[in-house]
Amino acid sequence: MKTIDELLAEGVKGKRVFVRADLNVPLAEGTITDDGRIRAVQPTIAKLAAAGARVIVASHLGRPKGTGAEPAFSLAPAAARLGELLGTDVAFATDTVGASAKETVAALTDGRVAVIENLRFNAGETSKDDAERGAFADQLAELADVYVGDGFGAVHRKHASVFDLPARLPHAAGGLIATEVGVLKKLTAEVERPYVVVLGGAKVSDKLAVIDELLGKADRILIGGGMAYTFLHAKGYEVGISLLQKDQVEVVKEYMKRAEDTGVELVLPVDVLVSAEFPDLKGKTPANFEIVDAQAIPADKEGLDIGPRTRELYASKIADAKTVFWNGPVGVFEHPDYAGGTSAIAQGLLDSSAFTVVGGGDSAAAVRILGFDENAFGHISTGGGASLEYLEGKTLPGLAALEG
Ligand SMILES: Nc1ncnc2c1ncn2[C@@H]1O[C@H](COP(=O)(O)OP(=O)(O)OP(=O)(O)O)[C@@H](O)[C@H]1O
Ligand SMILES: O=C(O)[C@H](O)COP(=O)(O)O
């Protein structure tokens, strides 16, 4: 992979450089609640601008339908925040490849930065059809002379701006991708043991597969968050209206059997916080919850955080670890009543003497929002699914494209 420094040495002055970033930040009513992903890519953008490039920053945000603009998924707040961090005006194009994008890019002068609107407002970005994705990549390629891939959080997606565009332009990897890959590589080699992995979050179907690989690698796997209920269901417990990936139950049973056969500790919650309703994340009105044993979730209730006994159990399983990888909040941490489990995991990591890696947009945000010092962890990765798929040993489209 060509590095950003090699690219800079070749000279970028006056060139239109397309930076594929991951500005998929958490938002609450249009306000960014954690700007970690913007701060992480800012040095790459600043370097290019300082070298006189005309920088075009592109990203997805959320999962809009791909049928045009959806205001709730606009990148405008992220563009404004990027301008604050850079200490300079950042132009914003209200479309991705249309008239606004073309005009905004044409108006860029050397050293200036523009953000174009959410890539996923266009069906071509995420299409499974190569030709449709390619046609969108052709349109993106018209905007730029050079491509810099630095959206680590999205490198596992075979999307037009991640996979097809770098094939159409001279390309290099940004500093964030280089750092992320450098750290995660260490976890795929020989790790210091005990190696403990904590998995939670809500993107259950995306993330279950990593367990297949981890069973041959980790000493203990602690399951929390939305992922836990598919396991509890597989054990034969009632999980009420909790998140449940029904089509994965057999797979999960096989994981549990393999863990037992190979001596890997696969640890499940012993108690959970349940409620009849999902919490109010806007007003944060106090939640109406109860703590129940994991085998006793009422049929009309949903599990929203790990319980106090589980927090203690998981902290004890982390305490003697030498390496910890954590992806996915273990509860709906956005509401204070369901943040206790996630806080306990973060604290557990800090109390251990392990090399700790926290991966994922929401996981990293949770650590900061809950008041932990991000510098106290070994590495905070901007990629959740991306870091998991890297650990799975998969070929990641966005990295493969930069190598080619
Ligand atoms: N028991 C639960 N039920 C429903 N949602 C949950 C539960 N536990 C955690 N969550 C939610 O999981 C979300 C985060 O999951 P996600 O899989 O997106 O993790 P991530 O760290 O952001 O990784 P990525 O970067 O891949 O998105 C949070 O919004 C949190 O509220
Ligand atoms: O949040 C993430 O993991 C990345 O931004 C990728 O988002 P996606 O899962 O919607 O592709």
Give the pLDDT of residue 207: 87
Tell whether the model's pLDDT for residue 29 goes beyond 90: no
Cα dihedral sign, 135-140-146-149: negative
Mean pLDDT of 286-293: 97
**367-379: per-residue pLDDT in tens?**
999 999 999 999 9
Tell whether the model's pLDDT for residue 404 goes beyond 80: no
Give the pLDDT of residue 37: 96
- ipTM rounded to 2 decimals: 0.94
Q: How far is the CA of 385 from the centre of ligand 2 (A)?
A: 7
Mean pLDDT of 190-197: 94
Mean pLDDT of 245-252: 95
Give the pLDDT of residue 173: 98
| Amino acid, single-letter form, for residue 390 | Y
Tell whether the model's pLDDT for residue 116 goes beyond 90: yes
Q: How far is the CA of 59 from the centre of ligand 2 (A)?
A: 11
Tell whether the model's pLDDT for residue 115 goes beyond 90: yes
**87-103: per-residue pLDDT in tens?**
999 999 999 999 999 99
**CB-CB contact of 229 with 243 (8 Å):** yes
Nearest protein CA to atom 16 of ligand 1, as residue: 201
Query: What is the percentage of the chain residues whose pLDDT exceeds 90?
Result: 92
Give the pLDDT of residue 205: 85
Q: How many CB atoms lie within 10 A of CB 205?
A: 11
Spell out which residues line ligand 2, taking CB within 6 angstroms.
22, 24, 63, 153-154, 157, 361, 384-385
Q: How far is the CA of 295 from the centre of ligand 2 (A)?
A: 32
Which atom belonging to ligand 1 lies closest to the Cα atom of 305? 1
**2-16: per-residue pLDDT in tens?**
999 999 999 999 999
* pTM for this model (two decimals): 0.90
| Mutation pick for ligand 1 pocket among 301, 310, 332 (CB with most ligand atoms within 8 Å) | 332
